[in-house]
Amino acid sequence: TLQQNRMTELSIFMLKNEKSSSINSFINEKYLRYSSENLFENAEDINEFNLAIFPLDNQLRKNHNVTGKIFVLQEKQAEVRWLENVNSFSEKQIDFTTPNILNKPLIIIKTTSSSIYAISYSYGYTLLNREHVVPDFGLNIARKELKLHTIKRVKNTNFSDTLYVSNFSSNNKINLNEISTSQSIPNIVDEILGEMTIRFTDGNNNIKELNIFASSKDSIKINGNFSIEEDLVPILKQLGNTYRQRRSDRTFLDKEILAVSSRKKEYLNKHFDDYLSNLMVTFKKNSNEFKVNNLDKLFLDIPLNKVKFNIEDLEIRVHSIFRPGEYLNFFDNTQEEIFSKIFSFFLKNNVQEFVDKLKSINVSIKNRNSDSSKDTSIGNLFSCLYMELNHDSEKYILYQGDWLSVNKNVWRETRDFVNSISSEAHGIDFNEFNNEDADEGDYNIKISKLDSNKGLICVDKENFGNQNLDGGFPLYEINGRSQIEPCDILKVNENSAFFCHVKRGTATSGLSHLLSQARASCILIKKSEDFVNHINSVIKTELSESEAIFLNETNLKRSKIILGIIIPEKKVHFKNSKVFPVLFSLNLVALVNALSLEGFEVSLVKIPDKK
């Protein structure tokens, strides 16, 4: 009899049914030619395929009327931890004790003639012939079962070779990724961590629940305490039913970013040309400069994944427009200042010449603190422009040189979420940003010294580096090159702590940096005593002994995160969705959810910019 045991992490794939195919045909052809000197005893077949094949447990087959096989490939590697689990499937016990061998186990089960699944432990999934894997199985399950408020983390890979990066950390970020092999539809996701629950009926007609902790585009990952003998096949059948179920409502993960048709692209390009023409008229009326509020739709946006150094040291050069050797700091200079230099170059061009030249002028970046004069090309100027446009109740974005549309339902849910985020300042007087302030740093110092903000500390530039942390940042999934600011402004009392992160402007790159700092800081506050001690040392330096209240277990339990974003005064009373870019809003949803799971409350305060 099979024992009920705690499963180690496993992945489930759905396989395409082909009536002419045997179970063996689901194995990658290169492994059919694989040769090993350490094949197992008691294998059903080792000759034809040169890897070990074992039959399913007889009781498992009879109880659920299923067929299947176990495939195991051996390669030299370290110990494994799932021996007992794989043997729970097998009629005869498999000896996995050969030292320094990596065993790749894959179990294939047919529950009906049309339902076939592969169960992978460790690297067993590498044995699969990918042509037979249902490509959207995992994402389909997630679309139907994952709720927006339970998303913890999203991972992904490239989208058109470059990424929009929220850069929560080096391995923990939300980007856009083309996930469909049959349609050219970019999506948000390669792997999702979040709460998904599947209800199924076991062999005794008891209703049970299976918690899925992660989903990739073609598989789901589970672990938990359930019986292979009694529960596994009912689970597989329910997953199949869920996958095939038709639902009319669109979900958060349902094709949120789509490529536009060629006809729609023509219209959008025409609108872009008209917008540039109107901007040029405004620019000339303003004596060849842009003022605050002139650039409410257009941003220069740098793909931050290309920045391999501290983002605050990022300098850009727009070739042909900037003087030889001239660079601007991307975050210290406003969008108005950058675009004023760009538009000055095109004063004598008509709009079509303007657009054509945008596509031929290169942009490069470099580290302002590096001794090297070498810079990195990031593409042409047009590909660095970001713009949003509403038309016929649809929302479009110009991103990386292409027009994309945002799914209505996705945007509606995201919009409602970001508009519902608290604007609580928790007693902190966020004064206006004005001509007294050269930059965010000056502003942070100014408000920390206000009489109304007694006990407030400016922590801006109090960076905490990889070298300060035992084990380094990678231990916490944070880029080792990062310099983490605990926050810009800090307030601590006996019962709670307030970490304020401040950023001026609404360009997606700058806001991404804001989210990145907030996320990384919260990870370290929660997990690193060294980081908390670093903050307490700043408190000791900045406040007198009678004023100082240090971070401790009590006040950290009620930590608040305040995102202070400096925006034009006239927009302060606008809803968040009317002020902030779509891509930032998607990332903000994930950040608020992730931090709430760690016990942090998040609020967003819009600070008036009167400069």
DSSP secondary structure string for all residues of 73-133 = EEEE----S-HHHHHTTBSS------TTEEEEEEEEEEEETTEEEEEE-TTGGGGB-GGGB
Phi, psi of 227 (to 5 degrees): -90, 125
Per-residue pLDDT tens over the stretch 27-64:
887 776 655 555 566 666 654 545 788 889 888 888 88
User: CA 571: distance to chain centroid?
Assistant: 28
* β-pairing verdict for 362-367 and 314-318: antiparallel
Residue whose C-alpha is closest to residue 461's, from 440, 434, 435: 440
Phi, psi of 25 (to 5 degrees): -70, -10
Residue 556 in tokens: 């950290």
Helix-helix angle 262-285:335-345, to 10 degrees: 90
Q: For the chain, how many helices (H) and strands (E)? A: 15, 27
String of b and e for 275-292 (b: at least 16 CB within 10 Å)? ebeebbeebeeeeebbeb
Share of the chain above pLDDT 70, in %: 77
Per-residue pLDDT tens over the stretch 130-142:
888 988 788 788 8
Per-residue pLDDT tens over the stretch 204-224:
788 888 878 777 778 888 876
Place of tokens 């900037």: 322
Which range among 180-184, 260-264, 498-502 shows the weakest confidence by mean pLDDT?
180-184
Answer whether 482's CB lies under 8 Å from 466's CB: yes
Residue whose C-alpha is closest to residue 131's, from 178, 181, 177: 181
If DSSP codes are grouped into helix, strand and coil, which group holds residue 598? Answer: coil
Task: Kindly state the average pLDDT of the residues 274-280.
Answer: 92
**What integer pLDDT is reported at residue 575 of this predicted model?**
94
Instruction: Say if residue 338's pLDDT is above 80.
Output: yes
| 154 pLDDT tier (thresholds 50, 70, 90) | low
Residue 435 neighbours by CB under 8 Å, 6+ apart: 610, 611
Q: Where are the beta strands (DSSP E) in 121-190?
A: 151-155, 177-178, 186-187
| DSSP 8-state class, residue 45 | B
Per-residue pLDDT tens over the stretch 383-415:
889 898 888 778 898 987 888 887 676 777 788
Place of tokens 């008891």: 206
Answer whether 224's CB lies under 8 Å from 7's CB: yes
Task: Burial-class residue 468 by CB neighbours within 10 Å (0-12, 13-18, 19+).
Answer: middle
Give the angle 30-36-38 at the CA atoms, nearest 5°. 145
Residue 273 in tokens: 């040309």
pTM for this structure? Answer: 0.59
Distance CA 187, CA 181 (A): 12
Distance CA 209, CA 219 (A): 18
Residue 520 in tokens: 């990384």
